[in-house]
Amino acid sequence: MAFSNLFRKKTVHDILKQVDKNESDGHHVLGKHLNARDLTAFGIAAIVGAGIFSTIGKASADGGPAVIFLFLFTAIACSFAAFAYAEFASMVPVSGSAYTYSYVAFGEIIAWIIGWALIMEYAIGNITVAISWSDYFTGLLESGGIKLPQWIQMDYLTASNGFKDATALMHGGKSFENLSAGLQASYTAWTTSPVIGSFHFVADLPALLIIVLITALVYRGMKESRNASNLMVVIKLCIVLLVIAVGVFYVNTDNWHPFAPNGVSGVLKGVSAVFFAYIGFDAISTTAEECKNPQRDLPRGMMWAIIICTLLYIAIALVLTGMVSYNELSVGDPLAFVFDKLHIGWMSGIIGVSAVIAMASVLLVFQMGQPRIWMSMSRDGLLPKRFSTVHPKFKTPSFATIVTGFVVAVPALFLNLTMVTDLCSIGTLFAFVLVCAGVLVLQNKKDIPRGKFKTPYVNSKYVIPFLLIIALVFAFKYNNKATMAFLTNEKQISSPSVIVTSLNKDKSKEVYEFIAQNYGDKKIASEDLEQVLSSFSQDDALYKTVVDSLPIDISLKYESGFSLFKHKIPMWIFLIVMIGLTVWSNRSNLSLIPLLGLICCLYMMAELSVWNWIYFTIWLLIGLLIYFSFSRKNSKLNIQ
């Protein structure tokens, strides 16, 4: 097959024609039950979940009250992407989301890549939410006097890694009681779990339970899913508004000073966590065939969902950082935490119940999205025909829904929360980047049928170079130290926890005795090596002196060379692409809004660790293997 055939495209006319022929080909038409209000509710259901009940705490601890600007930045970035999604959804009102849009704009191989990425986004996203739901659910049971064994409420990787870190810290002199609650739970889960040979059976069974229940609901029908979603959205919006209404009376404005305690870098540190709080609005586009008027209602649903959720996030962030100091918010359940701290216990119970409902509604929307992506790919011949089977009674993609349940449920038993959160973010951002790029590619093509919604056009020819100059001035004039450290790959000193967890028991003892002998005048009052090193870290110069003198390998003291540079590769990719986009915008008079969406989303991808890029690349390579072994020859475009 010629190389050019990898980029064979579908036309909008052919896609719409295919939808009309679905029933005659053995595909039953999906039920049309959704209007703009339902779509807005689905968007809120997807967005208001783990972000507002969990990740907002860590982001607030890093950025202080100024985290509201990060919510605004992320909302604007998502809005730019939403314009692009809305334009495509109006142009091609079928299930398939970014996959179908890429088929029109770029061709089959890119469509396959984005479809494969979306499969990961929705699957990994639901794994993440299922794990978070499990945490809140088990916490709610515990508050009611029902305590489940740790090994059936924690994933395998968290228990295994936590056990290793806890053991290393205890070797360094830290007592079990002084370990963080998370490490204590991990250690307990690992040591109390059933053992088969050398395998410890640790699995998150509540996560499995909620996935099975949600999958059954999604299988049952769109109307039932819509009604359940609307009900859950009403409940959790009432709870969020109650939190704001009660919390505002306990706000101490002194807690808002300093407003940005860690500067711009502190605010941006929460990019991944805050973006995860917005993931989900794009899932609305997968329901296009089930909308009564998709060309009108899809754009409205996306925009209203983002606007409403942004206002809620900003209000919640201001209330939380006003009720307690920002540096106390790095907890898994920040809303419940602040009310507990201020002795308003009755609110904590309400928040616990609402969090369980909120997480379930997010699961519902994501679990609806993935089968519809698989169904669209199957219709095009890129996946086996069975994935496009629509249930004759329930009017849902039945086989794809069941497979989705298995794909999400099994990994949720064993995978780590942090890993899956970042993987979900990078898959989603990648989809956003390609959708925005797709609008740019098609903007000047006259033979493309246009829908009722079109992104407002503003010429980016001079705006993008101007913004690039401003960014360079800021980087070198106001953030010169960090910029030069980035460019010169200046070595970075390791944190106390990194140093301690890399030492074995004997080496920890040797290091402790060395510090006690050489720095005894600094009032070393603890046998906890991490605590001792942390006491020095309050003074950067002193901490550097102590670390430099420790009797350990220099690779444990500093990160340098390629081991440091590899973490900067995503940002270098962003900078190089930015130069290319600047040239492209100047030559082709690109539309500003989708271009800004592409830049913002690519920047947020660059803020994720290089390991996420590596894992994501491995996933894409697996997808390409499937494409060249099955999908390419079975593609409907190839058969024609």
Q: Which pLDDT tens digit goes with each residue over 115-162? A: 888 777 777 777 877 877 887 788 778 777 788 888 887 777 788 888
* Stretch among 84-88, 310-314, 627-631 having the lowest mean pLDDT: 84-88
Q: Does the pLDDT value for residue 602 go beyond 70?
A: yes
pTM over 0.85: no
Domain limit, last residue, from 559, 580, 600: 559
* Mean predicted confidence (pLDDT) in 188-210: 85
* Mean predicted confidence (pLDDT) in 202-214: 85
Alpha carbon distance 80, 592 (integer Å): 9
According to the model, what pLDDT value does residue 520 have?
A: 65
* Mean predicted confidence (pLDDT) in 520-535: 70
- For residue 196, give the 3-state DSSP assignment: strand
Dihedral sign for Cα atoms in the order 562, 564, 570, 572: negative
According to the model, what pLDDT value does residue 418 have?
A: 61
According to the model, what pLDDT value does residue 425 have?
A: 76
Q: Does the pLDDT value for residue 509 go beyond 70?
A: yes
In a domain, 487, yes or no: no
Residues 34 and 131 in one domain: yes
Mean pLDDT, the chain, integer = 80
According to the model, what pLDDT value does residue 448 have?
A: 67
Residues 441 and 524 in one domain: no
What does the pLDDT look like over 432-490, one tens digit per residue? 888 888 888 877 777 666 667 778 888 988 889 998 899 888 888 877 887 888 888 88
Domain limit, last residue, from 559, 584, 602: 559
Q: Does the pLDDT value for residue 523 go beyond 70?
A: no
According to the model, what pLDDT value does residue 103 have?
A: 82
* Stretch among 16-20, 244-248, 348-352, 602-606 having the lowest mean pLDDT: 16-20
Q: Please, which pLDDT band fits residue 552 given cuts at 50, 70 and 90?
A: confident
* Mean predicted confidence (pLDDT) in 261-289: 72
> Could you give phi then psi for residue 492, rounded to 5 degrees?
-120, 135
DSSP assignment of 275-334: HHTTTTGGGGGGGGGGBSSHHHHHHHHHHHHHHHHHHHHHHHHHHHHHHS-GGG--SS-H
Q: Does the pLDDT value for residue 578 go beyond 80?
A: yes
According to the model, what pLDDT value does residue 2 have?
A: 55
Residues 69 and 178 in one domain: no
Residues 350 and 401 in one domain: yes
- For residue 391, give the 3-state DSSP assignment: coil
Residues 131 and 161 in one domain: no
In a domain, 459, yes or no: no
Residues 283 and 353 in one domain: yes
In a domain, 592, yes or no: no
Residues 52 and 182 in one domain: no
Q: Please, which pLDDT band fits residue 573 given cuts at 50, 70 and 90?
A: very high
Residues 242 and 350 in one domain: yes
In a domain, 52, yes or no: yes
In a domain, 321, yes or no: yes
Those residues with Cβ within 8 angstroms of residue 46's Cβ, 6 or more apart along the chain or in another chain: 279, 280, 281, 283, 284, 305, 361, 362, 365, 366
* Mean predicted confidence (pLDDT) in 212-228: 77
Residue 22, domain extent? 3-144+207-448+611-638
Residues 174 and 140 in one domain: no
What does the pLDDT look like over 332-363, one tens digit per residue? 667 777 887 888 877 877 877 877 887 787 78
In a domain, 260, yes or no: yes
* Mean predicted confidence (pLDDT) in 363-372: 78
Q: Please, which pLDDT band fits residue 576 given cuts at 50, 70 and 90?
A: very high
Q: Does the pLDDT value for residue 85 go beyond 70?
A: yes
Q: Of the segments 243-252, 267-276, 280-289, 435-444, which one has the largest average pLDDT value?
A: 243-252
Antiparallel, parallel or unpaired: β 492-493 and 199-200 = unpaired
Give the chain's domain count.
Answer: 3
Residues 380 and 501 in one domain: no
**CATH code assigned at 384:** 1.20.1740.10
According to the model, what pLDDT value does residue 25 have?
A: 53
Residues 248 and 344 in one domain: yes
Domain limit, last residue, from 559, 584, 601: 559
| Top-confidence residue, 18 or 565 | 565
Residues 271 and 334 in one domain: yes
In a domain, 163, yes or no: yes
According to the model, what pLDDT value does residue 24 have?
A: 54
According to the model, what pLDDT value does residue 26 have?
A: 47
In a domain, 580, yes or no: no
- For residue 37, give the 3-state DSSP assignment: helix
